Amino acid sequence: MNFNHRFLFIGLVLFTSCVAVSEKDKAPTAAPAATAIMPADSTKSFDNALVDNKKDPSCGMPVTAGVSDTLHFKNKVLGFCSSECKDSFVKDADKIFATIEFKK
Protein backbone atom coordinates (compact mmCIF):
# COMPACT_ATOMS: atom_id res chain seq x y z
CA MET A 1 0.00 0.00 0.00
CA ASN A 2 1.56 3.31 -1.04
CA PHE A 3 0.85 6.68 0.59
CA ASN A 4 -2.01 7.65 -1.74
CA HIS A 5 -3.95 4.45 -1.10
CA ARG A 6 -3.59 4.75 2.67
CA PHE A 7 -4.86 8.34 2.59
CA LEU A 8 -7.87 7.32 0.54
CA PHE A 9 -8.66 4.48 2.96
CA ILE A 10 -8.56 6.78 6.03
CA GLY A 11 -10.74 9.33 4.24
CA LEU A 12 -13.30 6.66 3.44
CA VAL A 13 -13.44 5.50 7.09
CA LEU A 14 -13.95 9.05 8.35
CA PHE A 15 -16.67 9.72 5.78
CA THR A 16 -18.55 6.54 6.70
CA SER A 17 -18.45 7.28 10.43
CA CYS A 18 -19.77 10.82 9.84
CA VAL A 19 -22.75 9.44 7.93
CA ALA A 20 -23.46 6.96 10.72
CA VAL A 21 -23.51 9.73 13.35
CA SER A 22 -25.79 12.04 11.40
CA GLU A 23 -28.29 9.22 10.81
CA LYS A 24 -28.39 8.64 14.56
CA ASP A 25 -28.97 12.38 15.24
CA LYS A 26 -32.03 12.42 13.00
CA ALA A 27 -33.86 9.64 14.83
CA PRO A 28 -35.38 11.55 17.84
CA THR A 29 -37.01 14.23 15.64
CA ALA A 30 -39.26 11.57 14.06
CA ALA A 31 -41.54 11.43 17.13
CA PRO A 32 -45.23 11.98 16.24
CA ALA A 33 -46.77 15.30 17.31
CA ALA A 34 -49.40 15.05 20.03
CA THR A 35 -52.77 16.45 18.94
CA ALA A 36 -55.27 15.20 21.51
CA ILE A 37 -55.50 17.29 24.67
CA MET A 38 -58.26 15.25 26.30
CA PRO A 39 -58.92 11.55 25.79
CA ALA A 40 -61.23 10.88 22.83
CA ASP A 41 -62.76 7.90 24.57
CA SER A 42 -66.54 8.12 24.16
CA THR A 43 -67.14 5.73 27.07
CA LYS A 44 -65.61 8.21 29.54
CA SER A 45 -67.85 10.96 30.92
CA PHE A 46 -66.52 14.38 31.79
CA ASP A 47 -67.89 16.56 34.57
CA ASN A 48 -70.13 19.14 32.87
CA ALA A 49 -69.07 21.71 35.51
CA LEU A 50 -65.62 21.75 33.88
CA VAL A 51 -66.78 22.90 30.47
CA ASP A 52 -67.45 26.55 29.54
CA ASN A 53 -70.36 26.10 27.11
CA LYS A 54 -74.00 25.65 28.17
CA LYS A 55 -75.03 23.49 25.22
CA ASP A 56 -73.39 21.14 22.76
CA PRO A 57 -72.84 23.61 19.88
CA SER A 58 -73.39 20.92 17.25
CA CYS A 59 -76.69 19.38 18.37
CA GLY A 60 -77.92 21.88 21.00
CA MET A 61 -78.16 19.36 23.81
CA PRO A 62 -77.50 20.86 27.29
CA VAL A 63 -74.12 19.82 28.69
CA THR A 64 -75.93 18.92 31.92
CA ALA A 65 -77.36 15.91 30.03
CA GLY A 66 -73.87 14.46 29.72
CA VAL A 67 -70.50 15.33 28.26
CA SER A 68 -68.56 12.52 26.65
CA ASP A 69 -65.96 14.53 24.75
CA THR A 70 -64.24 17.86 25.19
CA LEU A 71 -62.08 20.23 23.19
CA HIS A 72 -59.87 23.20 24.04
CA PHE A 73 -60.54 26.08 21.64
CA LYS A 74 -59.63 29.78 22.04
CA ASN A 75 -58.96 29.37 25.79
CA LYS A 76 -62.38 27.75 26.35
CA VAL A 77 -63.16 24.18 27.31
CA LEU A 78 -66.00 22.97 25.11
CA GLY A 79 -68.10 19.95 26.03
CA PHE A 80 -69.83 17.70 23.50
CA CYS A 81 -72.32 14.88 23.95
CA SER A 82 -70.33 12.69 21.56
CA SER A 83 -67.17 12.49 19.47
CA GLU A 84 -69.35 12.92 16.36
CA CYS A 85 -70.57 16.33 17.62
CA LYS A 86 -66.98 17.33 18.36
CA ASP A 87 -65.94 16.27 14.86
CA SER A 88 -68.66 18.37 13.22
CA PHE A 89 -67.62 21.36 15.36
CA VAL A 90 -63.98 20.95 14.30
CA LYS A 91 -64.96 21.03 10.61
CA ASP A 92 -66.37 24.57 10.96
CA ALA A 93 -64.90 25.62 14.33
CA ASP A 94 -64.63 29.41 13.88
CA LYS A 95 -68.19 29.83 12.58
CA ILE A 96 -69.82 27.60 15.21
CA PHE A 97 -67.70 29.06 18.02
CA ALA A 98 -69.32 32.47 17.40
CA THR A 99 -72.78 30.96 18.17
CA ILE A 100 -71.85 29.28 21.46
CA GLU A 101 -73.51 30.40 24.72
CA PHE A 102 -71.02 30.44 27.56
CA LYS A 103 -71.72 30.08 31.27
CA LYS A 104 -69.72 33.18 32.17
Distance in Å, CB of 62 to Zn ion, minimum: 10
Minimum distance of Zn ion from residue 81's CB (angstroms): 3
On the CB side of 90, CA atoms within 13 Å amount to 14
Characterize 64-103 residue by residue with b for buried, 16 or more Cβ atoms within 10 angstroms of its Cβ, and e for exposed.
Answer: eeebbbbbebeeebbbbbbeebbebbeeeeeebeeebeee
What residues form DSSP beta bridges with 104? none
| Residue 56 binds to Zn ion (criterion: CB under 5 A) | yes
Instruction: Compose the 66-85 pattern: x for residues touching Zn ion by CB under 5 A, - for all others.
Output: ---------------x---x
Range in contact with Zn ion (rule: CB under 5 A) among 13-21, 38-46, 58-66, 69-77 = 58-66
Residue 59 binding Zn ion, by CB under 5 A: yes
Binding residues vs Zn ion (CB under 5 A): 56, 59, 61, 81, 85
